[in-house]
Amino acid sequence: MSSMNDTGVVAGPAPGRTSRTHRLRGLAGTGVIATLASMVATTLAAALAQAVGVDFEVPAGGETIPLSGFAVVTGFFSVVGIVIAAALLRWSARPAERFVWTAVSLTAISLIPPLLSGANTATTTALLGLHLVPATVMIPTWRGASASGPIDDPATGQWAAQGRARARLRRGFGSCAAA
């Protein structure tokens, strides 16, 4: 006769950890796709601006910004945005809200250098617009990807706010059903 001491507990990763890892991977995957889309959109917008006569010559250095430069800079700062979004998803109670405030603030700050560059009006206007193109692609994408915030109760994998809202609904509907 064999005796087995089974407590019914199955070992495995903690639910909060698995969910967080899954959300971070989803954010990174979404971020990479959005980064590529914003790089393409920005480069196409710059090419269109060049086609209508914008020269992208910056007097401070006397050089013309190449189309590949728009793609590289957009890609770099988009990856920085992914890192910020991941950090907020990991450590913020309201990652989507914090991300939008951070991204909009950084976008506003990024509009200052074109204004100070000394370039002609067409180049300055085009550069301002080209700062807004990736922002319009990336901010809504990351906001949606980071909207799920951290889990309050890792044991159940639920957000406490959702549980409170459900309890209020049950109390409200329970009083209606009893009447």
Q: pLDDT tens, 145-169? A: 666 544 444 444 444 444 554 454 4
Do 153 and 160 touch, CB atoms closer than 8 A?
Answer: yes
DSSP string, 121-165: HHHHHHHHHHHHHHHHHHHHHHHHHTTT---SBTTTTB-HHHHHH
Residue 108, pLDDT score: 97
Average pLDDT over residues 50-66: 90
Cβ neighbours of residue 160 closer than 8 Å, sequence gap 6 or more: 152, 153
Residues 34-60, mean pLDDT to the nearest whole number? 95
Q: How many residues does the structure list for the chain? A: 179
Cα dihedral: 137, 139, 143, 144 (round 10): -10
**Res 55: pLDDT:** 92
Query: 153 - beta bridge partners?
Result: 158
94 pLDDT band, cuts 50/70/90, is: confident
Position 174 pLDDT exceeds 50: no
- Predicted TM-score of the model (pTM): 0.69
Q: What is the pLDDT of residues 15-44, one digit of tens each?
A: 445 566 777 788 888 889 999 999 999 999
